[in-house]
Amino acid sequence: MEHIAPIVIIGGQKVDLSAIIMMVVTSIIVFVLARLSIRKMSVENPGKLQNFMEWVVEFVSNIIGMATDFKRGKVYLSLGLTLIMYIFVGNMLGLPFNFITEAHHGHATFLGMDLFMDGKDEAEFAWWKSPTADAAMTMALALTVIVLSHIQGIRHNRKHYFKHYVQPWSFFLPINIIETVAKPLTLGLRLYGNIYAGEVMISVILGMGWVGIPAMLVWQGFSVFVGAIQAFVFTMLTMVYIGQYSIHEEDH
Amino acid sequence: MSINWTSFVIQVVSFGILFLLLSKFAFGPLFGIMEKRRQLVKEQIDGAEKSRTDAERYLEEQKQALQQARKEAYDIIELAKTTGSKQADDIVEAARSEANRLKEEAVREIESEKNKAIASVKAQVSGLSVLIASKIIEKQVDEKTQGELVDKYLQEVGTKS
């Protein structure tokens, strides 16, 4: 039986409870991790977590340095850090286990709210998943950073920002617009596709029973790798887009 | 694939909140610490550089002082050597002149002793000869003639000796 998301309907809107739970859990984990790392902050004798967090900061600084000019991209360091930590933690969360409740007789409730079962009699609700395995959430992240890059482009680099739509000639305007629209789509869907496919694969391997254990081990390891790479790619592309729009070298 | 728009909105808002919280409570202090460490490292590198140049300078000074001391020691030894040899020469010279003086003195003494001896021998010889002559010619010559004879002989002895 396919797992469906636990959805309640509030004010005519479908609200995905598992998505909200996962957003909150991911955010809390990221925030607690960051807070723990600076708990016993020290200049001369940093703890392990502080060292790790400083490594992450260096890593994101390098990403910014690769994508644009680090001096001018420095203000986006916090954004990059939040993105990479949120996405990485999100990617990892879906891996270790799942939490499923079953509903029969076409009726299930959560905190007194009726869960939406799409008219079916029986359903299995998956409460635990990667927040990044949901297109709504990856698209939200992608659109956020893309909109931010456009705003920053208009604010800091207005002339170049408007000019780039008609470059090299005004004939290219439609192509440039398509490119602009494609950017958030590719950014969000790449992340979603990778993580969602990983989770689908995990459920397929789970269906194999005992035989699937070696495959499961391999796939879990690979998913960790994919999760890390996707977090990196998302952050990298964010910085590249922001760099393209707002931090543009004058000489080209 | 379907996009749940409430999830979308909630994600945007929650990500924004997370970003603000992290910036304010976690990354801000962390960046501050990293900046401080950068300063600290820079200061320490500067300090190390300074002490290194200081050390080099001191080393150079020590080397020069050592060189100076060595030169002085050499000079002192040279001086001592020349002084020593000069003194030795002086001593040898003094000893030599002393020896010469002593020798000459001895020679002179010997000469005067010899002269004295000769004079005394002369006196004795003249006495003896007078004695002998007087004994031989006692009866033949009177006292006046005898005196003349003795004088004559004495004169001869004086010229012959």
B24 or B115, which is more confident:
B115
Measured in angstroms, the CA of B36 and the nearest CA of chain A are apart by 7
Q: Do A41 and B25 touch (CB under 8 A)?
A: no
A11 φ, ψ (degrees, to nearest 5): 55, 35
Question: Which residues in chain A are closer than 8 Å to B27, comparing Cβ atoms?
Answer: 34, 57, 77-78, 81-82
Question: ipTM > 0.90?
Answer: no
Q: Mean pLDDT throughout B44-54?
A: 95
Assess whether pLDDT exceeds 80 at residue A27: yes
Q: Pick left, alpha or beta for residue A106 (phi over 0 → left; psi -120 to 50 → alpha; otherwise beta).
A: left
> Which range has the worst mean pLDDT, B28-32, B46-50, B97-101, B149-153?
B149-153
pLDDT at A204: 84
Q: Do B11 and A41 touch (CB under 8 A)?
A: no
Q: In sequence order, what are the residues at sequence separation of 6 or more whose Cβ sits closer than 8 angstroms to the Cβ of residue A150? A: A161, A245
Q: How many CA atoms lie within 13 A of B106 on its CB side?
A: 6
Q: Mean pLDDT throughout A22-35?
A: 88
pLDDT in tens, A192-215: 898 888 888 888 888 877 887 888
Q: Do A54 and B34 touch (CB under 8 A)?
A: yes
pLDDT at A54: 85
A4 φ, ψ (degrees, to nearest 5): -120, 160
Q: Mean pLDDT throughout A138-146?
A: 88
pTM for the predicted model, two decimal places: 0.69
- Residue B134: pLDDT band by 50, 70, 90 thresholds? confident
Q: Do A38 and B29 touch (CB under 8 A)?
A: yes
Question: Which residues in chain B are closer than 8 Å to A44, comparing Cβ atoms?
Answer: 37, 40
A100-103 sheet: strands from edge to edge: A3-4, A123-126, A100-103
Q: Do B11 and A78 touch (CB under 8 A)?
A: no
Measured in angstroms, the CA of B19 and the nearest CA of chain A are apart by 6
Please tell me if residue B10 touches chain A, with a CB cutoff of 8 Å. Answer: yes
Rounded Cα distance, A33 and A134, in Å = 23
Question: Which residues in chain B are closer than 8 Å to A140, comparing Cβ atoms?
Answer: 7-9, 11-12, 15
Rounded Cα distance, A153 and A115, in Å = 43
- Select from A57, A78, A144 the Cβ nearest to the Cβ of B23: A78
pLDDT at A106: 57
Measured in angstroms, the CA of B50 and the nearest CA of chain A are apart by 21
Q: Mean pLDDT throughout B88-97?
A: 95
Rounded Cα distance, B105 and A26, in Å = 128
Encoded tokens for A97: 């286990």
Where do runs of H (alpha helix) occur along chain B? 5-22, 28-137, 143-160
Q: Do B5 and A136 touch (CB under 8 A)?
A: yes
Question: Which residues in chain B are closer than 8 Å to A27, comparing Cβ atoms?
Answer: 14, 17-18
Measured in angstroms, the CA of A44 and the nearest CA of chain B are apart by 7
pLDDT at A229: 92
pLDDT at B82: 95
Closest-CA residue to A35 (of B21, B38, B14)? B21
Measured in angstroms, the CA of A232 and the nearest CA of chain B are apart by 17
pLDDT at A117: 61
- What count of CB pairs under 8 Å joins A to B? 112
A19: closest chain B residue by CA: B7
In contact, A37 and B26? CB cutoff 8 Å: yes
Secondary structure of residue A109 in the 3-state scheme: strand
- Select from A30, A44, A134 the Cβ nearest to the Cβ of B18: A30
pLDDT at A252: 44
pLDDT at A68: 79
CA angle at A68 for the pair A66 and A69, rounded to the nearest 5° = 105
- Select from A16, A31, A54 the Cβ nearest to the Cβ of B21: A31
Q: Mean pLDDT throughout A68-96?
A: 84
Assess whether pLDDT exceeds 60 at residue A156: yes
Rounded Cα distance, A246 and A160, in Å = 9
Q: Do B15 and A86 touch (CB under 8 A)?
A: yes
Q: Mean of the per-residue pLDDT values for chain B?
A: 88
**Single-letter residue type at A144:** T
**Single-letter residue type at A146:** I
Assess whether pLDDT exceeds 60 at residue B56: yes
pLDDT at A116: 66
- Select from B6, B21, B29 the Cβ nearest to the Cβ of A41: B29
Running DSSP on this structure, what letter comes out for residue A94?
Answer: T
Encoded tokens for B138: 């006692």
pLDDT at A1: 44
Where exactly are the structural domains of chain A?
Answer: 3-246
pLDDT at B84: 94
> Which range has the worst mean pLDDT, A90-104, A154-168, B29-43?
A90-104
Assess whether pLDDT exceeds 50 at residue A74: yes
